[in-house]
Amino acid sequence: MSQTELSPEERHRERMQRKKELVDRKIARATIERGVLVVNTGNGKGKSSSGFGMLARSLGHGFRCGVVQFIKGSFSTGEEAFFRLFEGEQLAYHVMGEGFTWETQDKSRDIAAAQAAWAKAAAMLADESFDFVLLDELNIALAHRYIELEAVLAAVAARPQRQHVVVTGRGAPDALVEAADTVTEMRVVKHAFKAGIKAQKGIEL
């Protein structure tokens, strides 16, 4: 039967069959099993939200997880309130930031907070018991040079083989992007704040 004699449903089925065969071949070739480094960056919304989504998945799989928030900390967020419910043996959750730099207006305090946060993060990256580590807004601390990039790259490279790491924040350094397995850049199309809408619980907070 020629393609022109096929019904729309049959043509759709053929297209989906070809696509399935292509996807199945790619899946069959992906045989490496190890922890991945994910970097979420860019000026758009959703970098941390994506990271916390992966945290939820990891907790659902029974992984032992760690979170270090580098910048946020001066206000309560919904994700903190929710994930604190899991805190204990399965989750270590550390809010280490002093708030955004324009709020603290104290560089030495910001640097001290970032370095204390990095000490927590580095310990997790060296600990084989952690299956998943989320380093929220680490990119901002790196961009401001509050933490040495070389130290971060070395710790990530030396981490346990099966440990997954997610790094968020705008302005990810090129070297971190190069080291990552998966990189997503969020792009702003529209944002409610520009229209004068304040940050909303459940969306930004």
Can you say how many angstroms the Cα of residue 94 is from the centroid of all Cα atoms in its chain? Answer: 15
Q: DSSP secondary structure string, 139-183?
A: HHHHHTTSS-HHHHHHHHHTS-TT-EEEEE-SS--HHHHHH-SEE
Give the Cα separation of 37 and 28 in Å (integer). 22
Q: Hey, what are 77's tokens?
A: 């967020």
CATH code 3.40.50.300 for 34-195: yes
Give residue 102's pLDDT: 45
Domain residue ranges in the chain: 1-31, 34-195
Q: Are 66 and 132 in contact (CB under 8 A)?
A: yes
Tell whether the torsion through CA atoms of 84, 205, 145 and 156 is positive or negative. Answer: positive
pLDDT value of residue 120: 97
> What pLDDT, on the 0 to 100 scale, is given for residue 76?
66
Q: Please state, in angstroms and as integers, the Cα–Cα distance from residue 113 to each residue in 76, 86, 172, 204, following that order.
A: 17, 24, 19, 23
Please tell me the predicted confidence (pLDDT) of residue 26: 84
pLDDT at 104: 56
State the pLDDT at residue 191.
Answer: 86
* Mean per-residue pLDDT pooled into runs of 10, the chain (205 residues): 75 90 85 94 95 97 96 73 92 80 68 94 98 97 95 98 97 98 95 85 81
The whole-number pLDDT of residue 4 equals 64
How many angstroms from the chain centroid is the CA of residue 72?
Answer: 15
- pTM as predicted: 0.86
